[in-house]
């Protein structure tokens, strides 16, 4: 069977932030990314400064507006620092854009930050040709298609490499051998309004041929207070996994509802980074100061009975707060950070898969109870 909408993988995720230089320093210090490229006033970019941060195959771009009258500034005013662009590599941008717009992707409107879709565009400099286009996804999130096969530059026109910091220059110093072992974007989760999950599942299916991978209803993943529904869609290559959550009715405020209120609308809730050695990765991140959700000790007492034998030491997992789940294909290890903003919105997951292709459903209850304890501390339960 041929893939009706071939995707080569994630190209990058772009965050809109209030202060990109400080955000770059945060992702370098805490999550061990390296700043590889920069654009700003010094490189001829008069309106936006951006820092490209890389680790493994993960590429984040942190962008800030240099003026309040810029869509990035308006977007940050509304949402706080947030994931604004999900960029996918495709073999042909014109084909991709025509394919999705012919199947209902919105091609003419602006989102609430005033950001318009981008028809197929060619950017060119001495490093070659970069093709891209963009459509709207949930909330104010932009879905970008990128083809960099004919581009040899560090990231895009206007960007300059940041392999070394010149004396007197600003920016983030690269630090070799300091990575934490983050490898790829395993999955990327969106929160949408109650009743909107089905619409977005259909959107990804209709426009890009994504298939429904898993479905959790509120009965499976509700606690005393919080409830949500979730469906996971995946592209034909299996590389792009996009769970979509909506709040369900519970006794208290769903964690998804809390997100929607503080993010002021739908958006990216968490990004899961894969690692080949979660114990090493989490040890490094904790030493760097990354704060993770606390897991109650009884979780580990019942673990071996629930999960069976695993390669890792359960004592070590308990010390670090790493969760384990098993499905028919194997097991997985995962851990969740605290929100990385003052608003209780975006957080990260670190995941190591030993065959398992699921998302840790067996941990949802323990996990949600941990999230609710934090939510109660914020006075939002």
Give the residues lining the site for Fe ion (CB under 5 A): 272, 349
Cβ closer to Fe ion: 151 or 216? 216
Q: Given the structure tokens 């909506």, which residue do they identify?
A: 246
Residue 242 has phi, psi (to 5 degrees) of -125, 90
Q: Least distance in Å: CB of 187 to Fe ion?
A: 6
What is the C-alpha separation between 99 and 19, in angstroms, rounded? Answer: 36
Cβ closer to Fe ion: 88 or 242? 242
Q: Least distance in Å: CB of 189 to Fe ion?
A: 5
Beta pairing class for 48-55 and 58-65: antiparallel
Cβ closer to Fe ion: 48 or 272? 272
Cβ closer to Fe ion: 54 or 349? 349
Cβ closer to Fe ion: 76 or 242? 242
What is the C-alpha separation between 120 and 98, in angstroms, rounded? Answer: 9
Cβ neighbours, 10 Å, residue 379:
6
Q: Least distance in Å: CB of 359 to Fe ion?
A: 5
DSSP 89-138: E-S-HHHHHHHHHHTT---S-B-TTSPBPEEEEEEEETTEEEEEEEEE-S
Q: Least distance in Å: CB of 5 to Fe ion?
A: 23
What is the C-alpha separation between 160 and 193, in angstroms, rounded? Answer: 39
Q: Least distance in Å: CB of 337 to Fe ion?
A: 11
DSSP 276-300: S-HHHHHHHHHHHT--B----THHH
What is the C-alpha separation between 249 and 122, in angstroms, rounded? Answer: 46
What is the C-alpha separation between 271 and 381, in angstroms, rounded? Answer: 24
Cβ closer to Fe ion: 39 or 353? 353
Q: Least distance in Å: CB of 218 to Fe ion?
A: 17
């Amino acid at each position: 069977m041929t893939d009706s909408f071939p995707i080569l993988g994630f190209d990058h995720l772009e965050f809109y932030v209030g202060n990109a230089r400080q955000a770059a320093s945060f992702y370098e210090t805490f999550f061990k990314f390296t700043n590889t490229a920069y654009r700003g006033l010094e490189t001829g970019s008069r309106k936006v400064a951006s820092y490209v941060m890389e680790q493994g195959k993960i590429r984040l771009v942190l962008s800030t507006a240099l003026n309040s009258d810029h869509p990035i500034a308006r977007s940050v005013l509304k949402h706080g620092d947030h994931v604004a662009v999900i960029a996918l590599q495709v073999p042909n941008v014109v084909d991709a854009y025509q394919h999705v717009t012919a199947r209902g992707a919105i091609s003419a409107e602006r989102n609430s930050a005033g950001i318009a879709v981008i028809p197929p565009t060619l950017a060119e400099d001495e490093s070659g040709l970069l093709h891209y286009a963009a459509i709207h996804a949930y909330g104010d999130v932009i879905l970008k298609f990128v083809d960099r096969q004919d581009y040899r530059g560090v990231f895009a026109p206007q960007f300059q490499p940041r392999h070394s910091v010149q004396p007197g220059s600003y920016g983030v110093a690269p630090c070799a051998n300091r990575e934490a072992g983050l490898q790829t974007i395993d999955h990327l989760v969106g929160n949408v309004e109650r009743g909107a999950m089905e619409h977005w599942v259909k959107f990804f299916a209709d426009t890009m041929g994504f298939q429904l991978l898993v479905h959790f209803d509120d009965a499976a993943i509700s606690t005393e207070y919080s409830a949500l529904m979730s469906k996971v869609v995946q592209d034909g290559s299996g590389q792009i996994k996009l769970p979509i959550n909506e709040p369900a009715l519970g006794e208290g405020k769903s964690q998804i509802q809390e997100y929607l209120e503080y993010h002021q609308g739908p958006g990216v809730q968490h990004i899961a980074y894969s690692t080949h050695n979660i114990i090493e990765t989490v040890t490094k991140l904790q030493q760097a100061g990354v704060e993770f959700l606390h897991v109650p000790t009884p979780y580990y007492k019942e673990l071996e009975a629930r999960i069976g034998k695993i390669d890792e030491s359960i004592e070590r997992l308990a010390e670090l707060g790493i969760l384990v789940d098993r499905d028919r294909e194997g097991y997985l290890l995962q851990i969740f950070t605290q929100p990385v903003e003052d608003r209780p919105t975006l957080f990260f997951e670190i995941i190591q898969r030993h065959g398992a292709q699921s998302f840790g459903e067996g941990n949802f209850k323990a996990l949600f109870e941990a999230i609710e304890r934090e939510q109660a501390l914020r006075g939002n339960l």
